[in-house]
Amino acid sequence: MAAPEASASPRPDTQAPGVGLLEAVLATAVGAAGAALAPAVAPGIAGPHVAAGAALGLVSAAALGGRATSPGAGLVWGLAAGFILWTVLPAMAYVFHLSGFSPGAMLGDARARFPALVCCVAFIGAPVGVFLGTWAALRRRPSGAYSWARATIAGGAAGVAAALIFSRWMYVGNFYPLTSGFGELSTHAGSVLLHFSVACMIGCTFGMLFQADVRNAGSAMGWGMAYGMFWWFLGQIVLFPIAAGRNADWSHVRASRLFGPMVGHILFGLILGIVYSVTDATWKRLFVDADPLNRKRQGPGVHLLLSLGWGSAAGLCGGIASIPLMIPPGVLSRLPGLDLGLGPAAGVALHLALSAVIGATYGFLFRGETPNAVFGSLWGLVFGMIWWYAGPLTLLPLIRTGQCDWRPEAAAALMPSLVGHLVYGLVTANVFMAFERRHARWLFADPRQAALDVRRARPVATPAPALWVFVLGLGVLLPILLS
């Protein structure tokens, strides 16, 4: 029996409607309402003008027509739009002569405008994006693939599992990164229960929002990282102080004191994404997928071994490319094992060995996620940033001293190595993509495999570009602003 041909046009149930007048008016109202609500929640902040919120809502409605296809996709687009609004506001003020502009004082100005960043992300961008995504989801014909049970059960379980990584600090040091903005309760058991309750809630909402966007563990790490950063803004800075009965304080000084929980939110989001992707894939394998036409030409075990090998080779190339950037700041001298008297040559060899091992994790997590050089390069940058937060900032201090060093000062000292990690991720992703595309040409000889890959391809309206803007922009900016 001949294999069915892949359709070149999108299915009717996945087409997003165009932007209507009512949608644009409502999005404008949501943006304006968010900008007006922020000063009421935190009196005295210097947030964006109501007109800026209204403009963001209107521009987002016009620009995101057909892209914000679900509440989760809309949230990611809205977060990126809010961050972009915060970055362009000083230039707009300068153009309209509303304030002076001093390039030499940019860092101080950015720190002073940190409350406006909270407003743009949590009160303007996120509500506008969720509204546009929800509006589009309600108007289009449902595909029947979404499962509330799968979203809540898999997401809740992933949230609880991700929260377990903080168990040691919770029980020994009374450190609760997901609820630090709220403060400790009167009893230790109450603080632990609150921490896991918040983790479960974040996991459930993650599954509800991003079920359609999670394709594999690599992209799920990206969604989880963005969602964790968003909840740091919304939870630690905005909601928890209000729930604890304290005055709102959105200054960069208070945010700097919450830098450790911010790193904790990022790591929580990464683990949440990985665990959710595995749980969700297992659910689909057990209860959803049962179509013999979707059998692949090559078994998953063979593909996994090939991906690990390609990733190791790509990581070795990335390690070689990043050596000039990693040696000057002394990053290699801080690798575990170099305190045993190893010389520079042994340090380079250890760096390359670790680069190959980390590259294998890229092959495992991001296989099938890089259809072109642009996607591959940007996912590689996200991967490099993930390992900067997980490696020099977390794992290496933990191995050397038994404690993570999430102080803003430590992050500022490690900023030069961030460039090396970004270059490593960029090179690793492109070399891996070259291996994968060469192998794909052989697989496409099977028409069933070609049709399956077309159905699994990420749609043109993917929110991945917004994810890259938000994660890479804030991932680099926050350690600078809060140090």
CA dist 356 and 341 (Å) reads 23
DSSP 44: T
CA dist 387 and 75 (Å) reads 25
Token pair in block for residue 206: 């993650």
Token pair in block for residue 292: 């013999």
CA–centroid distance for 49 within its chain: 28
CA dist 227 and 183 (Å) reads 22
Interior CA angle at 301 toward 297 and 302, to 5°? 60
Q: Which of 326, 310, 331 is nearest to 431 (CA)?
A: 310
- Start-to-end CA span in the chain (Å): 64
SS3 (DSSP) at 446: coil
Q: Hey, how many other C-beta atoms are within 10 angstroms of the C-beta on 230?
A: 24
Q: Which of 253, 360, 245, 264 is nearest to 312 (CA)?
A: 360
pLDDT score, position 94:
53
Token pair in block for residue 210: 């991003």
CA dist 204 and 216 (Å) reads 18
Q: Which of 282, 246, 331 is nearest to 154 (CA)?
A: 282
CA-CA-CA-CA torsion sign (426, 430, 435, 439): positive
Delimit the domains of the chain by residue range: 16-139, 148-287, 292-481
Torsion of CA 59, 62, 64, 69, to 10 degrees: 130
CA dist 82 and 404 (Å) reads 31
Residue indicated by tokens 């720190």: 111
CA dist 68 and 80 (Å) reads 12
Residue 93, judged by CB atoms within 10 A of its CB (0-12, 13-18, 19+), counts as: middle
Per-residue pLDDT for the chain (483 aa), expressed as one digit of tens each? 334 333 333 444 444 445 578 888 999 999 999 999 988 888 877 778 899 999 999 999 888 877 888 889 999 999 999 999 998 877 665 554 555 555 446 677 888 889 999 999 999 999 999 999 998 888 775 555 677 888 888 899 999 999 988 887 777 667 788 888 787 777 888 888 888 999 999 999 999 998 877 777 888 899 999 999 999 999 999 999 888 888 888 988 999 999 988 999 999 999 999 999 888 887 776 665 544 444 444 455 566 788 888 889 999 999 999 888 876 544 555 554 344 445 667 778 888 898 999 999 998 888 877 778 888 898 999 999 999 999 888 888 888 777 788 888 888 888 888 989 999 999 999 999 988 888 777 655 444 544 455 455 555 567 888 999 999 999 999 998 887
pLDDT score, position 144:
52
402 conformational bin, left if phi > 0, alpha if psi -120 to 50, beta if neither: left
> What is the model's pTM?
0.84
What is the secondary structure of 368-405 as a DSSP string?
T--SSHHHHHHHHHHHHHHHHHHIIIIIHHHHHHSS--
pLDDT score, position 16:
42
- Amino acid in the structure at residue 141: R
Q: Which of 132, 32, 144 is nearest to 72 (CA)?
A: 132
Token pair in block for residue 446: 């099977």
Q: Hey, how many other C-beta atoms are within 10 angstroms of the C-beta on 173?
A: 10
- Amino acid in the structure at residue 149: A
Number of separate helices (H) and strands (E) present in the chain: 21, 0
Strand locations in 227-348 (E)? none
CA-CA-CA-CA torsion sign (62, 68, 74, 79): negative
SS3 (DSSP) at 186: coil
Evaluate whether 292 touches 4 at the Cβ level (below 8 Å): no
CA dist 49 and 35 (Å) reads 7
Q: Which of 232, 210, 239, 234 is nearest to 222 (CA)?
A: 210
DSSP 27: H
CA dist 63 and 77 (Å) reads 10
